[in-house]
Amino acid sequence: MKTLVWVEHDGQAVKDATLSAVTAASQLGEVHLLVVGQGVDGVAAEAAKIAGVGKVHVADDAAFAHALAENVAPLIVELMGTHDAFVAPSTTHGKNIAPRVAALLDVMQVSDILSVESEDTFTRPIYAGNAIATVQSTDAKKVITVRGTAFAKAATEGGSGEIEAVASTGDKGLSTFAGSEIAKNERPELTSAKIIVSGGRALASSDQFHAMIDPLADKLGAGVGASRAAVDAGYAPNDYQVGQTGKIVAPEVYVAVGISGAIQHLAGMKDSKVIIAINKDEDAPIFQVADIGLVGDLFKIVPELTAKL
Amino acid sequence: MKVLVPVKRVLDYNVKPRVKADGTGVDLANVKMSMNPFDEIAVEEAIRLKDKGVTEIVVVSIGEQKSQETLRTALAMGADRAILVVSETKVEPLGVAKILAKIVEEEKPDLVILGKQAIDDDNNQTGQMLAGLLGWGQGTFASKVEIADGSVNVTREVDGGAETDTLKLPAIITTDLRLNEPRYASLPNIMKAKSKPMAQKTPADFGIDVTPRLTTLKVVEPAKRSAGIKVADVDALVGKLKEMGVAK
């Protein structure tokens, strides 16, 4: 099977999510990459070095600058004439674009796969990760999104993909990019951080969230996450949210501070290697999944812990 | 301006799903079902747009007969009329999108607002598929919607922050959690909803083949985490962190 993998990038560098998608795609067969954007020569060169990659299709056009699904999907549909599968990481771009491609190809997408069982059979989580379904696709072409945390990252060196320019399919005139507000974050990116410190509603205010969580995260070199309750209350920005509707993470260590552990939150972090929970309620559901639990007042525990590290 | 809002009946989000012992799926017998939370947000947004030029809200649900309860809830919130497409077998997002595309052709809405994903299948596909089939613009994961003249500005929750796109109308929007806080239906409105019109159709009425493209071979529970330990104090926790090599 010849697969086409969506390269997730920020215009400068290939994002880690791509590397996991490449690993999943390599289990299907020959891996080709698709780099879409404006002024993406550097990204394409970097993508070509990913181990195991064949051709790197590059579509460089102003119409693709912000990866608008309306403009990008027709390009992918055209390339799918010579590919058997389209694989995208489950990033917001991947989730935005892939189903549009699937509909145009008249196939059902397989979302957020956890494993490749065979060329047409995959496992995926349903019901906020409370069940794992094994599904078989009867469609001739496959459209798949990949859960990054479920696949190892392909090596970023050693490959020698051949770069090939693809003609633009143009601006479809349905949508325009009007602007973005990307949160500045010096810390490791959540979905690739080895350690994550996450805060919940118990932090009680934005000031206390930052006063408690940030120093601990800095001591551990960790990314900072939050529960939906903390985000909804305005203690942390939206893109910090870990859970069914936020980011799915699986770091080496996940420290849940003042998070009760609702199923929607667990859906986003229960595949972490080690879960540490700090909560004053010893019956909080988070303790049912925590490897190490400490019952007590986070406002005493967290500063003490930070000081002792 | 007409708005179409598809809604789905799903296992209530507070209920812990139980996987059936025979591995055929999740047990939905005698459990509480509700409107998919993202769809409530979609209905709410449509209602809020009523004072900005929206004149009619049509809600649609595709699924078993009981989905009419979900439609009644949407009508009680403030939708004007409902269309129920009855299918006792499960319809996949592609099939749903195809049926919705037919309904869009008939109803000619200016905007279709869907939830970003259903919390049962967690697919996050239907809105995008519908947009693709119709050749319309799509504003997915919306946290803010502003109708302008002939277009709509959609602020979207994306990895790393927010992005605003301007879509030509007609367009598709899918809702993220932070778009709004859905209202509760009041008792008088629940009573009133009972007399609002609800048309009933089947996929065959639209000439749509909803044969699934994906076969579910089995459904299992995820691997259980082994029971952890509780430590007595911060020193013990620091000790554990050092053991793991997380702290020096």
Structure ipTM = 0.96
Q: How far is B8 from chain A (nearest CA, A)?
A: 14
**C-beta atoms of A180 and B129 within 8 A:** no
pLDDT digits (tens, 9 = 90+) for A148-159: 999 999 999 999
pLDDT digits (tens, 9 = 90+) for A68-77: 999 999 999 9
Q: What is the pLDDT of residue B167?
A: 98
Q: How far is A159 from chain B (nearest CA, A)?
A: 28
A69 and A42 Cβ atoms separated by less than 8 Å: no
Across residues A127-137, what is the average pLDDT? 96
Q: Which of A111, A126, A274 to mutate to test the interface with B (most CBs of B within 10 A)?
A: A126
Residues of B in contact with A131 (CB under 8 A): 17, 19, 26, 219-222
Whether the per-residue pLDDT at B142 is higher than 90: the answer is yes
Q: Which of residues 2-41 of A touch B (CB under 8 A)?
A: none
Q: What is the pLDDT of residue B247?
A: 75
pLDDT digits (tens, 9 = 90+) for B90-115: 999 999 999 999 999 999 999 999 99
Locate the chain A residue with the closest alpha carbon to B152. A175
Picking from A137, A176, A290, the nearest residue to B165 by CB comes out as A176
Q: What sign for the dihedral angle of Cα B224, B18, B25, A135?
A: negative
Locate the chain B residue with the closest alpha carbon to A181. B162
Query: Parallel, antiparallel, or unpaired: how do β-strands B161-168 and A175-182 relate?
Result: antiparallel
Q: Which of residues 120-139 of A touch B (CB under 8 A)?
A: 121, 125-139
Comparing C-alpha atoms, which of B59, B64, B91 is closest to residue B76? B59
Residue A227: pLDDT band (50, 70, 90) is very high
CA distance A261 to A284: 7
**C-beta atoms of A108 and B92 within 8 A:** yes
Mean model confidence pLDDT for chain B? 96
**C-beta atoms of B228 and A98 within 8 A:** no
In this predicted model, which residue has the larger pLDDT, A3 or B53? A3
Q: How far is B6 from chain A (nearest CA, A)?
A: 17
Q: How far is A100 from chain B (nearest CA, A)?
A: 5
pLDDT digits (tens, 9 = 90+) for A245-262: 889 999 999 999 999 999
Give the pair of three-digit tokens for residue B141: 């994961």
Q: What is the pLDDT of residue B226?
A: 80
Q: What is the pLDDT of residue B15?
A: 92
Angle at A226 between CA B18 and CA A212, to 5 degrees: 135
Q: Tell whether A115 lies on the interface with B, counting CB pairs under 8 A.
A: no
Give the pair of three-digit tokens for residue B43: 């209905």
**C-beta atoms of B219 and A239 within 8 A:** no
Residues of A in contact with B148 (CB under 8 A): none
Picking from B139, B167, B222, the nearest residue to A130 by CB comes out as B222
CA distance A226 to A247: 10
Residue environment code for B65-84, b if the CB has 16+ CB neighbours within 10 A, otherwise e: eebbebbbbbbbbbbbebbb
HEC secondary structure over A253-290: EEEEECCCCCHHHHHHHCCCCEEEEEECCCCCHHHHCC
**C-beta atoms of B153 and A99 within 8 A:** no
Compute CA distances A117 → A5, A133, B229, whole Å: 18, 12, 34
Residue A223: pLDDT band (50, 70, 90) is very high
Q: Tell whether A148 lies on the interface with B, counting CB pairs under 8 A.
A: no
Whether the per-residue pLDDT at A183 is higher than 80: the answer is no
Locate the chain B residue with the closest alpha carbon to A109. B125
Percent with pLDDT over 70 in chain A = 100
Q: How far is A305 from chain B (nearest CA, A)?
A: 6
Q: How far is B167 from chain A (nearest CA, A)?
A: 4
Q: Tell whether A279 lies on the interface with B, counting CB pairs under 8 A.
A: no
Q: What is the pLDDT of residue B146?
A: 96
pLDDT digits (tens, 9 = 90+) for A44-97: 999 999 999 999 999 999 999 999 999 999 999 999 999 999 999 999 999 999
Q: How far is A171 from chain B (nearest CA, A)?
A: 12
Residues of B in contact with A128 (CB under 8 A): 17, 119, 122
Compute CA distances A12 → A43, B9, B164, whole Å: 6, 43, 21
Locate the chain A residue with the closest alpha carbon to B120. A127
Locate the chain A residue with the closest alpha carbon to B118. A127
Residue B248: pLDDT band (50, 70, 90) is low
Amino acid letter, A300: K
Residues of A in contact with B97 (CB under 8 A): 103
Give the pair of three-digit tokens for residue A129: 């990760």
Whether the per-residue pLDDT at B160 is higher than 90: the answer is no
Q: Does residue B240 come out as left (phi exceeding 0), alpha (psi in the -120 to 50 range) or beta?
A: alpha
Residues of A in contact with B242 (CB under 8 A): none
Mean model confidence pLDDT for chain A? 96
Find all residues with CB under 8 Å of B151, minimum gap 6, and list them: B166, B167, B168, B169
Give the pair of three-digit tokens for residue B94: 């592609």
Picking from A135, A183, A185, the nearest residue to B214 by CB comes out as A135
**C-beta atoms of A111 and B123 within 8 A:** yes
Compute CA distances A128 → A152, A177, A267, B30, B40, whole Å: 22, 31, 5, 20, 18
